[in-house]
């Protein structure tokens, strides 16, 4: 049975990126995100049917929708950020800015703790299975011993029952003989 699709959204510049996926993890993979955007509050699940429609028509594909109009985008700019404000005034030279050096990428997180935990899980599973197999062998031996004990009891009970029946017959016969003589 296929898992139910959910629709997720995250902002990308002036657009929203929608994707229909089975899980948050699948949505992050579709967006190519290397961080958990949901944990950071940047991405969310969408429940509005009108926003979900296009994404559900193309499961797994990223659907981009413009967020707002150009006028709304321009109105949202701060008052000092006017178009052409960054251009140099005629006749005045701008000082050359040095490009910022790229920061060294952070080292990849170590997998050592995860590998150790996975190995511990594997060892625990092997130990459990060995102990369980040992218990199964013990149970089988006890079952065999119980069957033997049951058989011994049946044979002993049968012999004792026959002995009791013979003693009862002798007793009844003796009682009959005693009654006739009295």
- Tokens coding 7: 């629709």
**Model pLDDT for residues 37-87, shown as the tens digit of each residue:** 888 888 899 888 888 888 888 888 888 988 877 777 677 677 776 555 445
Q: Would you call 8 exposed, middle or buried from its count of C-beta atoms within 10 A (0-12, 13-18, 19+)? A: buried
Higher-confidence residue of 17 and 86: namely 17
Q: What is the per-residue pLDDT for 85? A: 47
**Model pLDDT for residues 126-182, shown as the tens digit of each residue:** 999 999 989 999 999 999 999 999 999 999 999 999 999 999 999 999 999 999 987
Structural domain boundaries of the chain?
6-76, 111-182
User: Could you give the C-alpha distances from 126 to 39, 112, 119, 170, in angstroms and in order?
Assistant: 36, 21, 11, 66
Q: What is the pTM of this model?
A: 0.40
- Tokens coding 179: 């009654």
Mean pLDDT of the 22-46 span: 89
Q: What is the per-residue pLDDT for 104? A: 85
Q: What is the per-residue pLDDT for 94? A: 59
pLDDT bin (cut points 50, 70, 90) of residue 33 is: confident
- Contact (Cβ atoms closer than 8 angstroms) between residue 3 and residue 53: no
Q: What is the per-residue pLDDT for 96? A: 63
Q: What is the per-residue pLDDT for 81? A: 63
């Amino acid at each position: 049975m296929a898992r139910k699709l959910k629709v997720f959204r995250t902002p990308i510049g002036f657009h929203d990126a929608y994707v229909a996926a089975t899980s948050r993890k699948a949505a992050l993979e579709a967006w190519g995100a290397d961080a958990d955007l949901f944990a950071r509050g940047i991405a969310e699940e969408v429940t509005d049917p009108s926003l979900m429609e296009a994404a559900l028509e193309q499961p797994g594909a990223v659907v981009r929708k413009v967020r707002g109009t150009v006028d709304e985008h321009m109105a949202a700019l701060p008052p000092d950020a006017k178009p052409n404000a960054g251009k140099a005034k005629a006749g005045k030279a701008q000082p050359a800015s040095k490009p910022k050096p790229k920061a060294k990428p952070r080292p990849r997180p170590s997998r050592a703790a995860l590998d150790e935990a996975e190995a511990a899980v594997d060892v625990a599973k092997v130990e459990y299975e060995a102990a369980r197999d040992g218990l199964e062998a013990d149970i089988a031996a006890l079952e065999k011993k119980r069957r033997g004990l049951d058989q011994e009891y049946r044979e002993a009970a049968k012999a004792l029952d026959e002995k009791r029946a013979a003693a009862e017959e002798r007793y009844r016969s003796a009682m009959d003989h005693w009654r006739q003589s009295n």
